[in-house]
Amino acid sequence: MANDHIDITVEPGEVHALLGENGAGKSTLMNQLYGLLQPDEGEILVDGEPKVFRSPRDAIAAGIGMVHQHFMLVPVFTVAENIALGAEEVRGGPLGWLDRRRSRRDVLETSKRYGLPVDPDALVENLPVGSQQRVEIVKALTRDVDLLILDEPTAVLTPQETDELLAVMRSLAETGKSIVFITHKLREVKAIADRITVIRRGRTVATASPDTSTDELAALMVGRDVSLEVTKTPSDPGREVLKVSGLIVDDDRGTRAVDRVDLVVRSGEVLGIAGVQGNGQTELVEAIMGLRESRAGLIELEDKNLAGRTTKQVLRAGVGYVPEDRSLDGVVKDFTVAENLVLDIYDQAPFGNGFKLNPGPIADSARERVSQFDIRTSSPQSTVGTLSGGNQQKVVVAREMSRPLKLLIAAQPTRGVDVGSIEFIHNQIIHERDVGTAVLVVSSELDEVLGLADRIAVMYRGRILAIVSPDTPREEIGLLMAGVVTREAEDTE
Amino acid sequence: MTTEAPEAPKAPAKKEEKEESFFGLFLHNLWSANTVTVTILSIFLALVIGAVLIVVSDSAVLSTFSYFTARPSDALNASWDLISRAYADLFKGAIFDPAAVQAWFSGTGDWKTALNPLSETLTYAAPLVFTGLSVALAFRGGLFNIGAQGQAVIGCVTAGVAGFAIGLPAGLHLIVALAAGLIGGALWGFVPGLLKARTGAHEVITTIMLNYTATLFLGWLILQNGVQDPDRTDAVSKTIESTAALPGLPAPLRVHLGIVLAVLATAGVAWLINRSSFGFELRAVGVNPPAARTAGMSVARTYIMLMVVAGGLAGLGGAVQVLGTADRLTGQVAGNIGFDGLLVALLGRNKPWGTLFAAILYGGLRAGGNLMQVDVGVSLELVTVLQALIVIFIAAPALVKSIFQLRDARTARLGTSMAKGW
């Protein structure tokens, strides 16, 4: 059961934040409002009238619009075409032709009325993520909605874009629209929401006002007191472990993703890479791991060149890797917890000898890791797909940190992970640093980088724009993430 | 999350049910849509439809239906008589004939006649086990090996040629011939594996093309000097030496050592999949190639190895066919064993032991079908129809589920498991 007797009321002109961890049931609830799922019990009232939504079409007709976490846009269509899609203006009967001019005019009108500038003729694939999101919002507004649902809208935005979005939400609310803002980021909730509904394990646990403290909200969300701050001692950097110089890497489409990057990670320190997703962080990490070929440049692990090595050789050289896409790259969901815990060391003693597996040691070690890393599973023999996101991530972390490491690379280590597990994973990363491992953390969540890193490299369009200390003001790092280099930032470097 | 939800409360519920009768619980589980239930019901449904076809295809019985309203008993009796005789023959031809067994015990018949049906079943089943395992193993690694047929044909060719072209002492000769079949099939699997790994060419396309190549090569080869039987003008090769033949039971029983090898191969494949490092790799590559790559496994190498092993298994199937059942190469020596292997693997849910049982079921249908054709005059093609129907129902578990109003269980997996290949 994803939703268990939830009550929620949204007033007109209100920004209502729906706060909850991943898997708490926020999206399930909103998908029912939007007609994508049907409730088993209970009813939905719009302006006091009970409604049944069999499909999003019904929901839109009732004045409910939704902007999904993953945009539902056709990349090769123009903005106007995307907005018209599903409600095309047709002239000359049901088999008539598309009235492009009118859809274009509608778009311009809506965008002007709500102060949301979009270019109707631009191809969606050429737009930055923030603008694509704006297109989604305009699309919902052209359908004349009264209630707009935004599902995790800030996950892909820079801090500046986030601020802009919050301003847009505020102004929409002022015109009388209601907004449901789904998120798990407490800072944004406090900044914008008029009312906050906290959901935990499919139940409404509280309705709070925005002046509730962050710690209280977090406790409501998780169900116990959590510390959101990463507690750590000052770092004690030692020798250079990873040295990247002049690295150039292309992405799958052949465009330059990493452009002459130089980096040094020392033992006993955490180097954080901040940046909006899609600025070359993925390709940088994949190149280091031997998953992607580099065009030029050196990758050295303690003076041994890693470029051109296979992934297996890189792992064997003492590199631990927490990939950013857990369900795709991190775990094999159909495998058991025990099998996933040896996914990259199954052919090493004592788990196997390259020819056969040794089920005994695999099971023993799995039991040990499950208790050591607090992996909540009914048994080490359950398949990983049955675990929550946080526990799946703990399986990855447990696997990578269970062997002697020189370098740990953690990409988006807490994406889609519940707050309780975030705390645990962060502590594990700091622990790894404290025993002298060099740690490279890549995250698009600025708070995470600020909390974990001893030095922060800001990446923009494939380049490291600056390396700054974590005490640098958020705004300044935010500007760097958007590609704006200020004088102070350059000085720090 | 939502799909797991209904399963979660199961554990506490079970304890409460213990209070109920054990029988009730058993029935509950029996009538839920699990793999075994769906398989059995699929066979049942296929037999029901098959019964209709038997009646429709018999003109004598069909004519009694023309005066059905006047005397329905004629039509019903005739239909029932025909169906029961046909299916009784299917059973007698596949498992045992009670009359023959009784004759054996009372001393009027001999054990050979009594065991003949089982012998026939296992004879047909043996090569299917190998080709079925070939498909099942490849599927576990995420590859759809349509090429088992071609690999089996090449296995027939290499094993057959080794069987008549070289002279070696008994025993050693057999081993060499089997090995030749294995290597031939493995080579025929290696090619699509390499193409897939290096260029990404889809194995379905390449293996289909190699099937044609193999069959045409066989057709050409058996007409060549040194291969063709010098005493014959038609497309038949020389007879393989007795030293290379798989030993079997005395004639007329046809069953041979091949079925024992098939059981050993099943055990071997089961071990390979579940207990070996290679099996770990292939399972990981089969369900999540990116994760396998990230964990340092070589997906390309796994694909190549997988196709080599799968090809080798299918090649062994061909070798068993030619060294055990046939004793020479003909254009049709491999029959349909490769394509039937696809269906056998599907029926066995791509599990080694499941594949073994499915192959025996297929062998039984084939053996029983022979008797049915001789005795009642029902065409052997009906067996093909039955086999096809069983596979259709198994591939569409939702259909079986709705026909029998089964409780929801894990059926969702059955359907998706095969759809994934495409």
The contact set of A with B (CB < 8 A) is 1-2, 23, 28, 289, 291, 310-312, 314-316, 321, 323, 325, 328-335, 339, 343-344, 346-347, 352-357, 359, 386
What type of residue is B366?
A: R
Residue of A356, A362, A396 for testing the chain B interface, max B β-carbons within 10 Å: A356
Mean pLDDT across chain A: 87
Q: Is A9 helix (H, G, I), strand (E, B) or coil?
A: coil
For B236-257, write each residue's pLDDT tens digit.
Answer: 999 999 999 999 988 889 999 9
Say which DSSP state B228 is in.
Answer: B
Reported residue count of chain A is 493
| Residues B319-333: b if buried by 16+ CB within 10 A, e if exposed | bbbbbbbbbbbbeeb
Most confident of A35-49, A225-239, A448-462, B389-403: A448-462
Report the range of poorest mean pLDDT among A65-69, A97-101, A161-165.
A97-101
**pLDDT at position A212, please?**
86
Between chains, do B275 and A356 touch, taking CB under 8 Å as contact?
yes
Q: Is B194 helix (H, G, I), strand (E, B) or coil?
A: helix
β-pairing verdict for A44-46 and A49-51: antiparallel
Neighbouring residues of A370: CB distance < 8 A, sequence distance ≥ 6: A337, A377, A380, A398
Query: For A272-308, what is the HEC assignment?
Result: EEECCCCCCHHHHHHHHCCCCCEEEEEEEECCEECCC
Among candidates B1, B275, B284 on the partner chain, residue whose Cβ is nearest the Cβ of A357: B275
Among candidates B1, B288, B298 on the partner chain, residue whose Cβ is nearest the Cβ of A332: B288
Most confident of A45-54, A60-69, B44-53, B271-280: B271-280
Give the model's confidence band at B4: pLDDT under 50 very low, under 70 low, under 90 confident, else very high.
very low
**pLDDT at position A190, please?**
87
**pLDDT at position B417, please?**
39
- DSSP of B271-321: HHHHHBHHHHHHHHHHH-HHHHHHTT--HHHHHHHHHHHHHHHHHHHHHHI
Residue A72: Cβ within 10 Å count: 13
* pLDDT over threshold 80, residue A486: no
Give the model's confidence band at A487: pLDDT under 50 very low, under 70 low, under 90 confident, else very high.
low
Between chains, do B2 and A2 touch, taking CB under 8 Å as contact?
yes
* pLDDT over threshold 60, residue A32: yes
- Please name every residue paired with A178 in a beta bridge, in sequence order, or none if there are none: A147
Across A383-396, average pLDDT: 88
Across A297-305, average pLDDT: 91
State how far the alpha carbon of B279 is from the alpha carbons of A380, B129, B338, B373, in Å: 20, 19, 23, 43
Please state the φ and ψ torsions of residue A178, each to the nearest 5 degrees. Answer: -100, 145
The contact set of B with A (CB < 8 A) is 1-2, 4-5, 275-280, 283-284, 287-288, 290-298
Checking A50-56 for CB contacts under 8 A at 24+ apart, the result is: none
In chain A, the percentage of residues whose pLDDT exceeds 70 is 97
Give the model's confidence band at B12: pLDDT under 50 very low, under 70 low, under 90 confident, else very high.
very low
Return the domain boundaries, chain A. 15-222, 240-492
Residue of A343, A386, A392 for testing the chain B interface, max B β-carbons within 10 Å: A343
Nearest to A199 by CA among A445, A418, A476: A418
List the single residue in A with minimal CA-CA distance to B7: A1
Give the model's confidence band at B35: pLDDT under 50 very low, under 70 low, under 90 confident, else very high.
confident
* pLDDT over threshold 80, residue B235: yes
Domain A15-222 is in which class?
A: alpha beta
Checking A307-312 for CB contacts under 8 A at 24+ apart, the result is: A310/B296, A310/B298, A311/B293, A311/B294, A311/B295, A311/B296, A312/A344, A312/B296, A312/B297, A312/B298
Chain B residues inside the 8 Å CB shell of A1? 5
Distance CA A166, CA A170 (A): 6
Predicted complex ipTM: 0.80
Among candidates B5, B294, B295 on the partner chain, residue whose Cβ is nearest the Cβ of A1: B5
* pLDDT over threshold 70, residue B22: no
Across B203-229, average pLDDT: 94
Return the domain boundaries, chain B. 115-362
Chain A residues inside the 8 Å CB shell of B276? 355-357
Between chains, do A356 and B276 touch, taking CB under 8 Å as contact?
yes
Q: What share of chain A is helix, strand, coil (3-state, %, to 5)?
A: 35, 25, 40
Chain A residues inside the 8 Å CB shell of B293? 291, 311, 329
Across A324-331, average pLDDT: 90
Among candidates B2, B276, B287 on the partner chain, residue whose Cβ is nearest the Cβ of A355: B276
List the single residue in B with minimal CA-CA distance to A1: B5
Q: Is B125 helix (H, G, I), strand (E, B) or coil?
A: helix
CATH architecture of the domain with residue range A240-492: 3-Layer(aba) Sandwich (3.40)
Give the model's confidence band at A187: pLDDT under 50 very low, under 70 low, under 90 confident, else very high.
confident
* pLDDT over threshold 60, residue A54: yes
Chain A residues inside the 8 Å CB shell of B278? 355
For A214-240, write each residue's pLDDT tens digit.
Answer: 888 888 888 877 777 788 888 889 899
Distance CA A265, CA A407 (A): 9
* pLDDT over threshold 70, residue A162: yes
List the single residue in B with minimal CA-CA distance to A344: B295
Among candidates A332, A344, A355 on the partner chain, residue whose Cβ is nearest the Cβ of B296: A344
CB of B273 closer than 8 Å to CB of B282: yes
| In B321-351, alpha helices (H) | 337-347
| H-helix or E-strand spanning residue B351 | none
Report the range of poorest mean pLDDT among A69-78, A89-98, B210-219, B298-307.
A89-98
Domain B115-362 is in which class?
A: mainly alpha
What type of residue is A237?
A: P
* pLDDT over threshold 60, residue B346: yes
